[in-house]
Amino acid sequence: MADALTGEEHLQNFLDEVQTLQAEFYQELRGADEQLMEIATGSLSLQRPNQFLWRYREPIEQLVLADGENLWIYDVELAQATVTPLSAIIEATPAMLLSGDQPVRDGFETLESFTEDGLSWVHLAPRLSGSDFRSILIGFRNGELARLELIDGLDQLIRIDFSEVDINQDFAADLFSFDPPDGVDVIGKPR
């Protein structure tokens, strides 16, 4: 049975209905020549507004966490964390689109909606110059977030497939908090 909704309608439903999301992910980075450069795996948790945790397990352990005020990037192996106020980050990023509130959606232009490979897609482009991404494709399967495909400024493709998606569950109060462990170098100042 064909999906009756367009990718754009699925995205709007996602933004209207999903307050929290937990999923596993498999990520590929391909160069402009389409050659596979890196594979990563991990989990994603997000909670609106402006809280998310990308927990990379492979190839290196890394956390990318937004606590509502700051963006933390913690490289476990290097024992280094960088922190940037969320207000300094361009809103037209995929993570902010998925975890932000409706005004963030206004930072993107819808180029097209289509169905391909069993997914309902919406193709977006950031309205603001200076975004790290030129193009964002979001694929939904039966209304559920299934894939992101991002083209960056170097024409590299980042493809993220989601599995074990669980929406609107309760999270521990401290899930989106980050306290740098002892001995970790912190670059930047949190708000």
pLDDT at 91: 59
Kindly report the number of other CB atoms within 10 A of residue 140's CB atom: 23
- List residues bridging with 64 in a β-sheet: 54, 73
Asked if 122 and 6 touch (Cβ cutoff 8 Å), the reply is: yes
Q: What is the pTM of this model?
A: 0.89
Which of 108, 161, 109, 167 minimizes the C-alpha distance to 143?
A: 167
7-34+42-168 adopts what CATH topology?
outer membrane lipoprotein receptor (LolB), chain A (2.50.20)
Query: Rounded to a whole number, what is the distance in angstroms from the first to the last CA of the chain?
Result: 49
Q: Where are the domains of the chain?
A: 7-34+42-168
Asked if 15 and 7 touch (Cβ cutoff 8 Å), the reply is: no
pLDDT at 92: 53
Asked if 190 and 69 touch (Cβ cutoff 8 Å), the reply is: yes
> What is the longest distance spanned by two Cα atoms in the chain?
55
The residues near 38 (Cβ < 8 Å, ≥ 6 apart) are 28, 29, 59
Per-residue pLDDT of the chain (191 residues; tens, 9 = 90+): 446 788 889 988 998 899 999 999 999 999 999 999 999 999 999 999 889 999 999 999 999 999 999 999 999 999 999 999 987 775 556 777 788 765 666 778 889 999 999 999 999 988 877 677 888 999 999 989 999 999 988 899 999 999 999 999 999 999 999 999 999 999 999 88
pLDDT at 131: 72
Which of 24, 27, 34, 22 minimizes the C-alpha distance to 59?
A: 27
